[in-house]
């Protein structure tokens, strides 16, 4: 047997088509149905077959390019070409999140939009050229802005939660009378393989779609399972997908034969129609085969016999399509072969072109779309008052003019007016200093007023107002259309945030505790933050993800309510991480976070230190030192701006954030009063990216620096800050107090693994006594900071 199965299936197609006898039937009218009772016309059938052949030649040429080391991706669609029918039946304005074998679908969908050349675009992507219109050489993906196909990652099933999220959001936008960037009767399609059905992330997407649909909330999602019976080398038990999915609650299950174009078309037409009409989940189970192994690198003979491989190849869906068009008199065998060869020639010509096209050359080029940041525009937006005109919405965004149409279901007009006046007036006019939870709550009121496209959701955020009452009254004020509880599943919460943001919402999801972000972090790491990168910023999923986190709750709750692992957020490319330590900072930072999402499409994690939510006093009971006034609209804290407390103190610079600021200020008082050490405290506020230059300026100003990191020694902030200092000012004496590399224990033992005031005082004294060089008493360079005394 030839090891080159690409050549084998190519040869087989040519030989078997050549032997097809032309029947003695009259050529049918091209616009008549191919058979009585069906809707597929002859003309459309020929067109679909053409897209199937196009897809096949893309698979074949991919292997040739790989052999020449000029193409970098060989996972193909051979055997799955029946999915072409969805490229026809689903509109190009229906957002579609596609499986890596949906090549024929994509080829046909391309025909819905003038000027798109699927051969050129696919080969540019395979060749990793900067001319690739979707990813610009960053990945081989199916994707297109005009075709509403956001690029997907290689992580199987991870696109399903966001597809469900987008479907729910489409329904929600209709209900809120917000204008969508897609027609209001759009559906969302996502395709995936049979093995992927078993993945927890797929299961949670099916579950959340059903959970939502069972409440009669619209979820126009079309799940398309391209079932080839195998996942790399592991067979899916025969009948498993059907057994698993046929009786899913609130789903309609539609089986289809993906090897027969006519059968597949009829099944898909039914599935699409049901989904669009009923606006509820439909599971289209398209049976396919897999040819050419899992990928070019997969030696299928390691787990299949030659006879098994050849048996599958004999069922090639392209042969079946050829047979149908020839037997029905639509094309002769010669015409089929002529067309097949013409596509081959075109693909080969384009391949010669794409290998000469430019590639990414510098890190700056690679990273250009990763983290767009327009500082001035962001600040202008962050400081924009309610009532001031908004900038035009970012790409794909819902329009701001829609404010007028925002509905708050379930609340009468009179009640709404009463609540509006009560909540907004009292909130904005109450100038008394308050603790952080109250101020964040006010900032969220402000955000939902300012951004009609903002929605806030998570576990318990609605009527209960969140575990810590940070979202209190928002549900009453803005209604269940904009503030709502989700089911208990973090993957769903984040998937919903991503999907809703794809169709123009400004998502403000909440994760109850940092530990539970880890439960679903791939949705942010793999999906949300990679979208602008893999789409050259053509698709965005702007969001501000609020996470209640960090430790110091006086031993209460143990590790999972005191999780201090920040690494999982900090190492996500492009993710902005903010961590305020007090109420006024939280408001100013949140305004900037929302503006970053709105203007630059950014994904922001806003980590709220639980232990400081209700903290009122700083040095002594009743001093109210941690209460703050609500900053007036128009004030915002720009990304990267740090805060220096006691800037006139010149013995030591303590660099810290969140709870560490509180601890360090208290330790600072002890150092001054008992040890005559004057320490300034720098709150870095923004944990990613870190403002290393400013920290270095502050370190140089005293010549001694102590980093107080409440996160773990491994993967916490301390490593990064010390590395930044070593690069910028190695002459400065440095020390680090960090949390131990452990889970946080329950009860008072918490104190033995976390930085404490005593430990900060002790470390500060050691830095001073071990200081090898006299501290430079130079004044701190002005930098971008606000000084507090």
Ligand X SMILES: Cc1ncc(C[n+]2csc(CCOP(=O)(O)OP(=O)(O)O)c2C)c(N)n1
Long-range contact pairs involving 196-202 (C-beta distance under 8 Å, separation at least 24): 196/99, 196/156, 196/157, 196/231, 197/225, 197/241, 197/244, 197/245, 199/156, 199/157, 200/491, 201/157, 201/158, 201/160, 201/161, 201/491, 201/522, 202/157, 202/160
Determine the straight-line distance between the first and last CA of the chain, rounded to whole angstroms. Answer: 81
- Token representation of residue 512: 């109850």
228 vs 453, beta carbon nearer ligand X: 228
Helix spans in 507-617 (H)? 514-518, 522, 531-534, 567-570, 583-600, 610-613
Stretch binding ligand X (CB under 6 A), from 53-61, 113-121, 189-197, 323-331: 189-197
**What secondary structure does DSSP assign to 712-748, as a single string?**
ETTTSHHHHHHHHHHHH-TTSEEEEEEE-SSPPPSGG
195 vs 506, beta carbon nearer ligand X: 195
> Which residues 73-132 are close enough to bind Mg ion by CB under 5 A?
none
Which of 228, 507, 564, 733 forms a contact with Mg ion (CB under 5 A)?
228
**What secondary structure does DSSP assign to 45-65, as a single string?**
HHHHHHHHHHHHHHHHHHHHH
694 contact choice in ligand X, Mg ion, none (CB below 5 to 8 Å, kind-dependent): none
Least distance to ligand X from the beta carbon of 648, Å? 54
List the beta strands (DSSP E) in 329-475.
Answer: 454-458
101 contact choice in Mg ion, ligand X, none (CB below 5 to 8 Å, kind-dependent): ligand X
**What secondary structure does DSSP assign to 127-178, as a single string?**
TTBTT-TTTTTS-----BTTTTB----SSTTTTHHHHHHHHHHHHHHHHTTP
- How many residues touch Mg ion (CB under 5 A)? 6
- Candidates 660, 684, 173, 224; CA nearest to 397 is 173
Q: Which residue has the tokens 């689903």?
A: 90
156 contact choice in Mg ion, ligand X, none (CB below 5 to 8 Å, kind-dependent): ligand X
Stretch binding Mg ion (CB under 5 A), from 134-142, 187-195, 463-471, 716-724: 187-195
Does position 140 interact with ligand X (CB under 6 A)? The reply is no
Using an 8 Å Cβ cutoff, are 109 and 87 in contact? yes
- Candidates 666, 609, 646, 643; CA nearest to 435 is 609
Least distance to ligand X from the beta carbon of 258, Å? 12
CB atoms within 10 A of CB 93: 18
Least distance to Mg ion from the beta carbon of 9, Å? 18
Least distance to ligand X from the beta carbon of 288, Å? 8
- The 3-state DSSP class for residue 274 equals helix
Task: Say what the alpha-carbon torsion angle 778, 780, 781, 786 is, to the nearest 10 degrees.
Answer: -160
Does position 232 interact with ligand X (CB under 6 A)? The reply is yes
- Token representation of residue 67: 């052999």
Which of 51, 89, 105, 156 forms a contact with ligand X (CB under 6 A)?
156
154 contact choice in ligand X, Mg ion, none (CB below 5 to 8 Å, kind-dependent): ligand X
Least distance to ligand X from the beta carbon of 77, Å? 9
Distance between CA 227 and CA 262 in Å, rounded?
18
Distance between CA 306 and CA 313 in Å, rounded?
11
What lies within 8 Å, CB to CB, of 609 at 6+ separation is 549, 550, 552, 579, 580, 581, 658, 659
Query: Could you give the angle at which helices 5-18 and 306-313 cross, rounded to 10 degrees?
Result: 40
357 contact choice in ligand X, Mg ion, none (CB below 5 to 8 Å, kind-dependent): none
Stretch binding Mg ion (CB under 5 A), from 100-108, 221-229, 362-370, 705-713: 221-229
Stretch binding ligand X (CB under 6 A), from 108-116, 191-199, 431-439, 454-462: 191-199
Stretch binding ligand X (CB under 6 A), from 106-114, 205-213, 225-233, 637-645: 225-233
Does position 231 interact with ligand X (CB under 6 A)? The reply is yes
Residue facing Mg ion at closest CB distance: 193
Stretch binding Mg ion (CB under 5 A), from 87-95, 185-193, 522-530, 674-682: 185-193
Helix spans in 625-756 (H)? 659-675, 692-702, 717-728, 750-753
CA distances, 692 to each of 358, 580, 661 (Å): 35, 18, 17
232 contact choice in Mg ion, ligand X, none (CB below 5 to 8 Å, kind-dependent): ligand X
Cis peptide before 273 (omega within 30 of 0): no
Does position 228 interact with ligand X (CB under 6 A)? The reply is yes
Which of 87, 193, 397, 609 forms a contact with Mg ion (CB under 5 A)?
193
196 contact choice in Mg ion, ligand X, none (CB below 5 to 8 Å, kind-dependent): ligand X
108 vs 196, beta carbon nearer ligand X: 196
Does position 230 interact with ligand X (CB under 6 A)? The reply is yes
195 vs 604, beta carbon nearer Mg ion: 195
Stretch binding Mg ion (CB under 5 A), from 141-149, 191-199, 426-434, 642-650: 191-199
473 contact choice in ligand X, Mg ion, none (CB below 5 to 8 Å, kind-dependent): none
- Token representation of residue 530: 């990679």
> Which residues 290-309 are close enough to bind ligand X by CB under 6 A?
290, 294
Which of 4, 22, 27, 154 forms a contact with ligand X (CB under 6 A)?
154
- Candidates 756, 596, 612, 788; CA nearest to 683 is 788
Which of 41, 112, 155, 776 forms a contact with ligand X (CB under 6 A)?
155
Least distance to Mg ion from the beta carbon of 59, Å? 16
Which of 59, 81, 194, 600 forms a contact with Mg ion (CB under 5 A)?
194
Stretch binding ligand X (CB under 6 A), from 32-40, 153-161, 299-307, 489-497: 153-161
- Token representation of residue 772: 């090898």
647 contact choice in Mg ion, ligand X, none (CB below 5 to 8 Å, kind-dependent): none
Does position 585 interact with Mg ion (CB under 5 A)? The reply is no
Least distance to ligand X from the beta carbon of 343, Å? 23
103 vs 640, beta carbon nearer ligand X: 103
Distance between CA 472 and CA 437 in Å, rounded?
10
155 vs 252, beta carbon nearer ligand X: 155
Does position 195 interact with ligand X (CB under 6 A)? The reply is yes
Does position 143 interact with Mg ion (CB under 5 A)? The reply is no
140 contact choice in Mg ion, ligand X, none (CB below 5 to 8 Å, kind-dependent): none
Reported residue count of the chain is: 789
484 contact choice in Mg ion, ligand X, none (CB below 5 to 8 Å, kind-dependent): none
Does position 521 interact with ligand X (CB under 6 A)? The reply is no
CA distances, 727 to each of 554, 716, 721 (Å): 37, 18, 10
Q: Across the strands, what pairs with 53?
A: none
196 vs 733, beta carbon nearer Mg ion: 196
The contact set with ligand X (CB under 6 A) reads 101, 154-156, 192-196, 226, 228, 230-232, 290, 294
């Amino acid at each position: 047997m030839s090891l080159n199965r690409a050549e084998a299936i190519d040869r087989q197609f040519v030989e078997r088509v050549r032997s097809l006898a032309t029947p003695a039937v009259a050529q049918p009218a091209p616009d008549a149905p191919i058979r009585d009772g069906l809707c597929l016309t002859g003309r459309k059938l020929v067109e679909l077959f053409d897209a199937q052949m196009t897809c096949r030649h893309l698979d074949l040429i991919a292997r040739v390019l790989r052999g020449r080391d000029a193409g970098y991706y060989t996972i193909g669609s051979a055997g799955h070409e029946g999915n072409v029918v969805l490229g026809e039946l689903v509109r190009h304005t229906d957002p579609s999140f596609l499986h890596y074998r949906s090549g024929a679908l994509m080829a046909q969908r391309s025909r819905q939009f003038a000027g798109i050349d699927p051969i050129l675009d696919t080969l540019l992507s395979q060749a990793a050229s900067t001319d690739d219109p979707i990813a610009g050489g960053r990945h081989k993906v199916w994707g297109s802005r005009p075709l509403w196909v956001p690029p997907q990652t290689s992580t199987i099933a991870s696109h399903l939660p966001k597809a469900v999220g987008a479907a729910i959001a489409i329904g929600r936008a209709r209900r809120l009378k917000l204008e969508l960037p897609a027609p209001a009767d759009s559906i969302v399609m996502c395709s995936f393989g049979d093995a992927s059905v078993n993945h927890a992330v797929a299961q949670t997407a099916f579950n959340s779609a059903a959970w939502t649909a069972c409440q009669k909330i619209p979820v126009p999602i079309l799940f398309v399972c391209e079932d080839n019976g195998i996942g790399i080398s592991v067979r899916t038990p025969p009948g498993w997908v059907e057994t698993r999915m046929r009786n899913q609650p609130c789903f309609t299950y539609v089986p289809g034969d993906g090897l027969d174009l006519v059968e597949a078309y009829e099944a898909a037409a039914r599935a699409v129609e049901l989904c669009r009409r009923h606006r509820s989940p439909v599971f289209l189970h398209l049976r396919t085969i897999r040819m050419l192994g899992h990928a070019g690198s997969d030696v299928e003979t390691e787990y299949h016999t030659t006879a098994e491989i050849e048996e599958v190849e004999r069922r090639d869906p392209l042969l079946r399509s050829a047979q149908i068009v020839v037997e029905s008199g639509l094309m002769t065998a010669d015409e089929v072969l002529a067309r097949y060869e013409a596509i081959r020639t075109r693909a080969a010509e384009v391949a010669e072109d794409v290998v000469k096209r430019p590639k990414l050359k510098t890190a700056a080029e690679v990273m250009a779309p990763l983290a767009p940041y327009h500082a001035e525009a962001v600040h202008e937006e962050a400081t924009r008052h309610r009532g001031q005109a908004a900038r035009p919405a970012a790409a794909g965004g819902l329009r701001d003019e829609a404010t007028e149409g925002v509905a708050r279901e379930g609340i009468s007009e009179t009640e709404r007016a009463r609540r509006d006046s009560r909540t907004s007036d009292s909130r904005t006019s109450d100038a008394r200093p308050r603790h952080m939870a109250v101020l964040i709550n006010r900032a969220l009121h402000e955000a939902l007023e300012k951004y009609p496209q903002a929605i806030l959701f998570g576990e318990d955020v609605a009527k209960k107002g969140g575990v810590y009452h940070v979202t209190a009254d928002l549900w009453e004020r803005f209604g269940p259309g904009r503030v709502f509880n989700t089911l208990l599943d973090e993957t769903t919460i984040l998937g919903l945030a991503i999907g809703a943001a794809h169709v123009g919402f400004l998502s403000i999801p909440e994760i109850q505790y940092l530990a539970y972000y880890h439960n679903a972090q791939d949705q942010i790491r793999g999906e949300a933050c990679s979208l602008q990168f893999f789409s050259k910023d053509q698709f965005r999923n702007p969001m501000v993800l609020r996470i209640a986190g960090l430790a110091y709750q006086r031993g209460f709750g143990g590790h999972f309510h005191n999780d201090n692992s920040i690494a999982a957020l900090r190492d996500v490319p492009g993710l902005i991480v903010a961590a305020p330590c007090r109420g006024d900072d939280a408001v100013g930072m949140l305004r900037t976070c929302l503006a970053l999402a709105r203007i630059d499409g950014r994904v922001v994690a806003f980590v709220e230190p639980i232990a400081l939510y209700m903290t009122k006093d700083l040095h002594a009971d009743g001093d109210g030192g941690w209460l703050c006034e609500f900053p007036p609209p128009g004030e915002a804290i720009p990304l990267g701006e740090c805060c220096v407390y006691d800037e006139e103190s010149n013995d030591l610079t303590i660099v810290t954030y969140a709870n560490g600021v509180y601890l360090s200020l208290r330790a600072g008082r002890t150092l001054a009063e008992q040890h005559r050490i004057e320490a300034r405290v720098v709150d870095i506020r923004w944990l990613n990216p870190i403002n290393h230059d400013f920290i270095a300026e502050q370190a140089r100003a005293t010549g001694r620096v102590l980093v107080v990191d409440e996160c773990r020694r491994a993967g916490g902030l301390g490593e990064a800050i010390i590395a930044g200092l070593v690069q910028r000012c190695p002459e400065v004496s440095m020390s680090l107090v960090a949390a131990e590399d452990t889970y946080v224990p329950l009860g008072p033992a918490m104190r033995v693994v976390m930085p404490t005031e005593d430990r900060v005082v002790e470390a500060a004294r050691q830095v001073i006594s071990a200081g090898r060089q006299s501290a430079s008493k130079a004044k701190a360079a002005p930098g971008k900071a606000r000084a507090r005394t």
